Amino acid sequence: MSNKTEKSTHFGYQRVAVEEKQGKVAEVFHSVASKYDLMNDFMSLGIHRIWKRHTIHLSGVRKGQRVLDIAGGTGDLTAKFSDIVGETGEVILADINSSMLRMGRSRLIDKGISGNVSYIQANAECLPFSENHFDCITIAFGLRNVTNINAALQSMYRTLKPGGRLLVLEFSRPVAPGLKPIYDAYSFKILPLLGELVANDRESYQYLAESIRMHPDQKTLQCMMESAGFGQCEYFNLSGGIVAIHRGYKF
């Protein structure tokens, strides 16, 4: 069910007016954009690259296809997809945050990636593309920052071609025995400290830890995808459930 009629939503553990969340999330990513890749490596000990590689494998993207990488940030997935789809394919890196989009564009251009990649500043809740446009849509570590997840899922569904698939890579709920207390201690004690030492921004990484806890768990997100129209929805737990990949198809 859509939550458009609600007057407030969560920003981490805070309750804020619905119309304020987008701006507050933007402030976080304007702040961390220059150190985003470095912090990802510090936070995950480089494992985020394995999570993303697994997402690409599950996407089934092939040569000549059209891919949308939402919340594409600094372009890790876009770079890989660009190589896979080749000259006859197309990849669009989309991000609502202008600082992240600039970082991604500069990074990919520095790598010599340009011919089949384009860039657009876009809100996942109202994607500026026609119906039945993409073979695959990915959103990695971005869905939890969306104000209205249901609206975003519906927008993604609308722009996928029949037979197209959505891949959501996102932090989730630990399922491995004994992992939760260790993960909580890391998230709320070590992660903000890393943010302060590496990025000079403790508050943004405190928000990161809180936003993960407020994001729907694996089964709930699967149900939300099904409610948006996706079929054959399934999820794959990685690193004991700290991260999960959700996949669904448009039929």
First to last CA, the chain: 21
- 114 near 86, Cβ under 8 Å? no
What's the pLDDT tens digit per position in 81-120?
A: 999 999 999 999 999 999 999 999 999 999 999 899 999 9
The tokens describing 7, both together, are: 């007057």
- Distance between CA atoms of 153 and 15, rounded to whole angstroms? 22
Domain span at residue 29?
A: 25-176+205-249
With respect to residue 125, please indicate whether it lies within any of the assigned structural domains: yes
What pLDDT does residue 158 have? Answer: 98
With respect to residue 12, please indicate whether it lies within any of the assigned structural domains: no
What pLDDT does residue 1 have? Answer: 42
Residue 64: CATH number of its domain: 3.40.50.150
With respect to residue 94, please indicate whether it lies within any of the assigned structural domains: yes
The tokens describing 42, both together, are: 């510090």
Structural domain count, the chain: 1
Q: Residues 97, 3, 10, 248: is their CA dihedral positive or negative?
A: negative
With respect to residue 97, please indicate whether it lies within any of the assigned structural domains: yes
**Spans of the chain below 50 pLDDT:** 1-4
What pLDDT does residue 3 have? Answer: 44
With respect to residue 152, please indicate whether it lies within any of the assigned structural domains: yes
What pLDDT does residue 37 have? Answer: 81
- 126 near 2, Cβ under 8 Å? no
What pLDDT does residue 6 have? Answer: 67
With respect to residue 5, please indicate whether it lies within any of the assigned structural domains: no
With respect to residue 110, please indicate whether it lies within any of the assigned structural domains: yes
What's the pLDDT tens digit per position in 111-132?
A: 999 899 999 999 999 999 999 9
With respect to residue 99, please indicate whether it lies within any of the assigned structural domains: yes
